[in-house]
């Protein structure tokens, strides 16, 4: 039962262009969503989050959009940089503590 899905295993983008990573969820009880970035042999690092009462949150080059009716969220990275190349995980939470449900991840490759 995959409650959080990232349907694109990989994404390749040219440096300077926009990267759009997508995530779908099925559980209406989730009330916050996060994106984590992970390099090989390292742990995930927090990138950006959004509460279910909002539809957009922006932090520098990173913007997360939430469409509750479609149960869909996306992460936009503009402009993309080679250092952004990593695995990106979408995660969702519905408790008052850090119990998160993760998607399978999308490998982003940004070409110089």
Partner 1 sequence: NAGVMQNPRHLVRRRGQEARLRCSPMKGHSHVYWYRQLPEEGLKFMVYLQKENIIDESGMPKERFSAEFPKEGPSILRIQQVVRGDSAAYFCASSPSRLAGTGELFFGEGSRLTVL
Does residue 34 bind partner 1 (CB under 8 A)?
yes
Rounded Cα distance, 16 and 19, in Å: 9
Q: Does 46 bind partner 1 (CB under 8 A)?
A: yes
Entry field: residues in the chain: 112
Stretch that binds partner 1, among 13-21, 56-64, 73-81, 89-97 (CB under 8 A): 89-97
Q: Cβ 44 to partner 1, closest distance in Å?
A: 5
Instruction: Tell me how many residues contact partner 1 (CB under 8 A).
Output: 28
User: 81, 90, 89: which is closest to 109 by C-alpha?
Assistant: 81
Cα angle: 45, vertex 25, 42; to 5 degrees = 20
1 contributes a contact to partner 1 by CB under 8 A: no
Distances from the Cα of 36 to the Cα of 6, 69, 103, 112, angstroms = 13, 23, 10, 23
Q: Which is nearer to partner 1, 79 or 94 (CB)?
A: 94
Q: Which residues bind partner 1 (CB under 8 A)?
A: 4, 6, 31-32, 34, 36, 41-46, 49, 51, 89, 91, 93, 95-105
């Amino acid at each position: 039962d995959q409650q959080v899905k990232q349907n694109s295993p990989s994404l390749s983008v040219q440096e300077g262009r926009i990267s759009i990573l997508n995530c779908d969820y099925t559980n209406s009880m989730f009330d916050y969503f996060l994106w984590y970035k992970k390099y090989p042999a390292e742990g995930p690092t927090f990138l950006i989050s959004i509460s279910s009462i909002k539809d957009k949150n922006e932090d520098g080059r990173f913007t997360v959009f939430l469409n509750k009716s479609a149960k869909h969220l996306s992460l936009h990275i503009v402009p993309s940089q080679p250092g952004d190349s990593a695995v990106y995980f979408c995660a969702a939470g519905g408790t008052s503590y850090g119990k998160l449900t993760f998607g399978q991840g999308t490998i982003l490759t940004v070409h110089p």
